[in-house]
Amino acid sequence: MSKQTANASGPPTLTGLFLIFSRIGLTSFGGGLSGWLLREFVQERHWISEEDFLNGLAISQALPGINVKNMAIWIGHRLLGWRGALLAVTGIIVPPAVFIIILGTAFTYLLHFPPAHVLLAGAAAAATGLSLSMGVTTARRVPRTLSPMLFLAGTFVAIGVLRLPLVWVVTGAGGLSVLSEYTKLRTQLRKA
| Model pLDDT for residues 138-155, shown as the tens digit of each residue | 778 777 788 888 888 898
Q: How far is CA 126 from CA 64, 103, 131, 172, in A?
A: 26, 20, 9, 32
Total residue length of the chain: 192
Neighbours of 22 (CB within 10 A): 19
- Output DSSP code: residue 161: I
The pLDDT value recorded for residue 31 is: 63
pLDDT at 19 over 70: yes
Type of residue at 90? T
**pTM of the predicted protein model:** 0.59
Neighbours of 19 (CB within 10 A): 14
Burial-class residue 167 by CB neighbours within 10 Å (0-12, 13-18, 19+): exposed
